[in-house]
Structure 1
């Protein structure tokens, strides 16, 4: 995959949940294109390993993005070290899949906290550091475009963050701050491999017209595009990175 090595020269990006999967791949992509990147994560050991892998233009801040005190600390550290943020990728979140009758109040709070509250307050807290014409990208999911049994809570949380995308695109328009989301389909991440059997992973590949599951790098390329100057006329949009999963009936292609 080719990179434009200068799209993010002189820019600083914040990526929440940047220690693995799509967040880590996006950090690699932005650094390859010239950015300095701040990554966050709850696990200090994993965070240190990610920063070591990313190299000298990466900086890690440990903390829980569902904790407003931790978010305040993270933003204060970014302000002190970098002074500004040009890109925010609100990527942190969790998957949770069960029938509606198995959703407890505690589970509801956990999923909404990780997927909605964290994105909302990450952006709110980061806003004072964003100059005019900055870019925000939120990680949503193909689930907001398709009804899948056993995903009511998760899909509702991701529909909420895309509605946040559209609302903030309007609210921040006077500052020309663009807000978009990406909706990954089935993506080969550590969580994907941990949650699905080998058979289920192969089945997921067969559901996409692309004939495969996506890679974290596929999502990173989309997030980098939306955050870049190449997307200055794209705002309030959800970019599906799903190999055609939600647009094309794969069975009809057989």
Structure 2
């Protein structure tokens, strides 16, 4: 039987790339996203009998329950969940309002929690969860008060889930990625914030989409059957770098 993955935030960005990778690897995939236009584009790109495309807000428990039921009815019990739904709002601490802080935590942290609960209730014999986070989950970065707090929360939630759910055949891990270079995000001399990341990255390059999706695919695979509660970092060494040569 083909394994079934649900991907939140799967209609664009890294979520879409993960959906494409898993379909190529022989998975059935349910793509969930709140952006209707992006869902249409994703279906045009990936549509087929092994994929379904469903609209839902990850912060709405009723909507998530409904689309997870639709996914299970169409594809079968959930084998894997990839939480890729995320909002990034860069603002320094004194510029971060309580409203902004709540919005970011609601989508990034509470949304991941709601989706994970829904997947657990609809899992098959085993379940693998991968929560996508930024390297801001691991170290402080200026301008990331809300985003960093949300990502660190997801990382800790991942570890607690791994601890509590292992006896039920559930593995829970994170992939922590640095900003990824894409046609829409440049890392050249005028790349602004992105360029600043590279200046503190030992490998002096941004990770590729393929490298990040390969990390996700590994953590969902049987080869990672003994890996749980782990954060697999794909960042060119950014999270462990201190002063670089020449500083």
Structure 2 Cα separation of the partners of residues 252 and 132 of structure 1: 50
- Contact kept, 8 Å, 1:17 with 1:93, in 2: the verdict is yes
Q: Structure 1 residues 118-127 or 66-75, which shifts more? A: 66-75
Counterpart selection for 1:67 from 60, 64, 71: 60
Q: CA deviation at 1:132?
A: 3.1
Q: CA deviation at 1:45?
A: 1.8
Q: CA deviation at 1:253?
A: 7.7
Structure 1 Cα separation of the partners of residues 77 and 245 of structure 2: 49
Match of 1:36 in 2: 28
1:22 matched to 2:14? The reply is yes
Q: CA deviation at 1:191?
A: 7.5
Q: CA deviation at 1:222?
A: 0.6
Q: Structure 1 residues 26-35 or 208-217, which shifts more? A: 208-217
Structure 1 Cα separation of the partners of residues 16 and 34 of structure 2: 14
Structure 2 Cα separation of the partners of residues 31 and 206 of structure 1: 35
Structure 2 Cα separation of the partners of residues 200 and 173 of structure 1: 39
Identify if the C-alpha distance between structure 1 residues 69 and 108 changes in structure 2 by more than 3 Å, giving closer, same or farther: same
- Contact kept, 8 Å, 2:72 with 2:122, in 1: the verdict is yes
Identify if the C-alpha distance between structure 1 residues 163 and 191 changes in structure 2 by more than 3 Å, giving closer, same or farther: farther
Q: Please list the CA deviations of residues 51-73 of structure 1 after superposition, one character each: whole Å capped at 9, or x if unmatched.
A: 22113122100111111221121
Structure 2 Cα separation of the partners of residues 236 and 113 of structure 1: 22
SS at match of 1:251: coil
SS at match of 2:162: helix
Match of 1:231 in 2: 224
Structure 1: any 5+ residue segments left out of the alignment? 1-8
Structure 1 Cα separation of the partners of residues 60 and 243 of structure 2: 41
Q: Structure 1 residues 96-105 or 26-35, which shifts more? A: 96-105
Structure 1 Cα separation of the partners of residues 65 and 171 of structure 2: 23
Structure 2: any 5+ residue segments left out of the alignment? none
- Contact kept, 8 Å, 2:28 with 2:75, in 1: the verdict is no
Structure 1 Cα separation of the partners of residues 37 and 90 of structure 2: 27
Q: CA deviation at 1:201?
A: 3.0
Relative to the length of structure 1, the TM-score reads 0.89
Counterpart selection for 2:159 from 140, 159, 166: 166
Match of 1:52 in 2: 44
SS at match of 1:86: strand
SS at match of 1:140: strand
Counterpart selection for 1:131 from 124, 130, 136: 124
Cα RMSD, aligned residues only = 2.2
- Contact kept, 8 Å, 1:22 with 1:189, in 2: the verdict is no
- For residues 1-254 of structure 1, the aligned pairs below 5 Å read 10-56=2-48, 57-189=50-182, 192=185, 198-249=191-242, 251-252=244-245
- Contact kept, 8 Å, 2:6 with 2:78, in 1: the verdict is yes
- Contact kept, 8 Å, 1:18 with 1:39, in 2: the verdict is yes
- Contact kept, 8 Å, 2:200 with 2:241, in 1: the verdict is no
Q: CA deviation at 1:188?
A: 2.4
Relative to the length of structure 2, the TM-score reads 0.92
